[in-house]
């Protein structure tokens, strides 16, 4: 099952990093969705922190960004999807 996390510009970076770390300890991939520059910024910071949490235990992760069309309140928006995988 594909785990998904949605990150907003108001998301707590430490909480998102913890969620990413916990999922990546147990699964081989995860999808993080963002809409807008603020949420992308929070997601990237969280991934960097999560990498710091995971690396000492021998887990290396990498990110593959892509675009994804989504509907929010009846309007089409372009989201950035960050697929995180273990090396």
Contacts of 73 (CB under 8 A, 6+ apart): none
Q: Express each pLDDT in 30-79 by its tens digit.
A: 999 999 999 999 999 999 999 999 999 999 999 999 999 999 899 999 99
Distance of alpha carbon 34 from alpha carbon 7, whole angstroms: 5
Give the global pTM: 0.92
Binned at pLDDT 50, 70 and 90, residue 13 comes out as: very high
Neighbouring C-beta atoms of residue 35, cutoff 10 Å: 18
Position 79 scores a pLDDT of 96
- Domains identified in the chain, total number: 1
Binned at pLDDT 50, 70 and 90, residue 2 comes out as: confident
* Closest to 35 (Cα-Cα) out of 12, 18, 10: 10
CATH number at residue 58: 3.30.110.20
Residues of the domain holding 71: 4-86
């Amino acid at each position: 099952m594909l785990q998904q996390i949605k990150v907003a510009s108001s998301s707590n970076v430490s909480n998102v990093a913890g969620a990413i770390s916990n999922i990546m300890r147990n699964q081989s991939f995860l999808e993080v969705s963002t809409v807008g520059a603020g949420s992308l910024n929070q997601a990237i910071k969280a991934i960097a922190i999560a990498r710091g949490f995971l690396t000492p235990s021998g887990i290396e992760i990498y990110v593959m960004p892509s675009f994804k069309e989504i509907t929010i309140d009846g309007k089409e928006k372009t989201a950035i999807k960050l697929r995180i995988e273990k090396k």
